[in-house]
Structure 1
Amino acid sequence: MVKVVELDKSEKTLNEIAQVYKEVWEKNDNSIKERFRKHATYKGYRGYMIINEKNDLIGFAYGYTTLPGQYYNGLLRDTLEDKLADKWLSDCFELVELAVLSTERNKGYGKHLASKLVEGVTNKTAVLTTQMNNEIARNLYEKLNWEVVYKPFYPDKNNAFVIMGKKIN
């Protein structure tokens, strides 16, 4: 039996988030901890994690209100035409990270996390980015009524991403 709980900011949870992130993205990258600490202070921050019966973190998702002055908001605004940026980013919740361990996929956890994260958000829209070639993630989001806003998007100049959006309110 698994449970979904609010993502806490304890050092134990941060270490578990970093481990899940490394496993999911196959990167030895501890920067997720510092990014999470910073993002958890942003307006509209919310996050959830899925815990298994052994009390291990097996997946997480978090996001916040995207605002001018934030790094990724700037990248999105620089990419989108003004009209599109105004439509999607003016009153927007950004789904920043969603990760589920590969051993725990195809059980509905990603769908549950993505839905729970935007449930009750008061922003008019939500945005996220995912890799262009990540068909599994793109299919998941499309099933949850996210639409492609723009492609290709190159946040790091090397990898093609897609910007997806969802009208919330």
Structure 2
Amino acid sequence: MPLRTFARQELMEGLLPFLLQVYTEAFSQPPYRGVDPAAFADILLRHADGPTFLGLVAEEGGQVVGFAYGYTGEPGGWWYDRVRAGLPGETAQTWLDRPFELAELAVAPHAQGRGLGAQLHDQLLALASRRHRRAVLSTLEAESRAMHLYRRRGWQVLAPRFRFMPGPTYRILGRRLAPITPAEAARCQIRPATFTDVEAIRAIAWATWTETYRGLMAPKTQATILERWYSPEAIEAALGQGDQVFLVAEEAGAPCGFLQMRLVGPAMAELSRIYILPTYQRAGLGDRLFHQGLELLRARHRVRAVELTVEAANGPAQAFYEKHGFRKLGQATVSLAPGEPLATFRYRLELT
């Protein structure tokens, strides 16, 4: 669906009521609790009056069916000041350095489920990336369509359970708009994962699977697997396993990758999971996670070999493992869903 930009002048010339209708319809459904259209109109006009405002509108058959907008976040803004005060110092300094604030994204209910929200999101951030290195937003801490979109698009958790005032809690999210450099990646921290990382681990898994397995397995199959393997309960159970190392890589308090490696025999380890968000790949973080995870596991156990399974069509992952000395043992086919077989390779690394 073609999208076009809009500015304050067009709002004043008649576009505003149509955006208010979409906004009211979109946010009057669960899990939302209804809206105040007049208050939103005032906020939108004030935001649109700024020099950094970016807005997109979607129309179908001459009818407005969606819109999104944002602007540069700076001190003095209502949202900016409250979020900055509530974030740890390093997180605020890094992620609130003139970011693009994605203020609103709304799609009329009858137009949802067709990828329009993703289209608005992607095109708006593409425009924002010309002037910004990062984007930030807040979203209701609920399993909404918006949260599902942000997970798939690589947004990182800056703060869970954030309150602007008495009432519902929100997640503060951030997203890189430019790939990380090796120098920036070298400053990222690697630490043990904790139960407070559950939502961040979910987000990393969804974003990396969406990118890695596009074309390798049906989207519906992907979603089914992710909902089973990366539900909050499944992640908590994984974090609670003994004889393992579960690490998180983070940039200024925002997790961007994770690794799980566990003991499966007297001298055998299994590399179960290693995922890095797309904008953080090819900068050395995967190497650091792997080496640190292996070092920690070997410090506790007499590990002599590490094995893993990787999809036969996932060439980049195979190249990564082969670079680290893994050799291919054999091939197998697993069934992810009826009529959807997946060829896999088994790899092994012998340790000296």
Fold match (TM-score > 0.5): yes
State how 1:24-43 maps to structure 2 within 5 Å.
Answer: 24-26=26-28, 27-43=35-51
Q: Distance in 1 between matches of 2:85 and 2:77?
A: 12
Are the structure 2 counterparts of residues 102 and 164 from structure 1 closer, same or farther at C-alpha, using a change threshold of 3 Å?
A: same
Runs of 4+ in 1 over 6 A off after TM superposition: none
Q: Distance in 1 between matches of 2:164 and 2:116?
A: 27
Q: Secondary structure at the match of 2:20?
A: helix
* Gaps in structure 1 of 5+ consecutive residues: none
State how 1:1-169 maps to structure 2 within 5 Å.
Answer: 2-9=1-8, 10=10, 11=12, 12-26=14-28, 27-53=35-61, 55-121=62-128, 122-169=131-178
Q: Counterpart of 1:64 in structure 2: which amino acid?
A: Y
Please give the root-mean-square deviation of Cα atoms over the aligned residues, in Å.
1.3
TM-score by length of 1: 0.93
Q: Secondary structure at the match of 1:60?
A: strand
- Is this contact kept in 1: 2:159–2:173, CA < 8 A? yes
Q: Counterpart of 1:137 in structure 2: which amino acid?
A: A
Once the 2 structures are TM-superposed, how far is the Cα of residue 28 of structure 1 from its aligned partner?
4.3
Q: Secondary structure at the match of 1:145?
A: coil
For residues 106-157 of structure 1, the C-alpha deviation after alignment (integer angstroms, 9 at most, x for no partner) is 1111001111111032211100111001332112011111111111111232
Q: Counterpart of 1:51 in structure 2: which amino acid?
A: E
Q: Secondary structure at the match of 1:50?
A: strand
Once the 2 structures are TM-superposed, how far is the Cα of residue 60 of structure 1 from its aligned partner?
0.4
Once the 2 structures are TM-superposed, how far is the Cα of residue 8 of structure 1 from its aligned partner?
3.8
- Is this contact kept in 1: 2:7–2:48, CA < 8 A? no
Structure possessing the higher radius of gyration over alpha carbons: 2
Q: Secondary structure at the match of 1:119?
A: helix
Once the 2 structures are TM-superposed, how far is the Cα of residue 29 of structure 1 from its aligned partner?
2.4
For residues 46-82 of structure 1, the C-alpha deviation after alignment (integer angstroms, 9 at most, x for no partner) is 01010001x1110000000000011110111111011
Once the 2 structures are TM-superposed, how far is the Cα of residue 3 of structure 1 from its aligned partner?
2.5
Q: Secondary structure at the match of 1:16?
A: helix
Q: Distance in 2 between matches of 1:110 and 1:120?
A: 16
- Is this contact kept in 2: 1:7–1:60, CA < 8 A? no
Q: Distance in 2 between matches of 1:142 and 1:75?
A: 24
Q: Secondary structure at the match of 2:18?
A: helix
The alignment covers a number of residue pairs equal to: 167
Identity %: 27
**Which has the higher relative contact order, 1 or 2, with Cα contacts under 8 A spaced 6 or more apart?**
1
Q: Secondary structure at the match of 1:155?
A: coil
TM-score by length of 2: 0.46
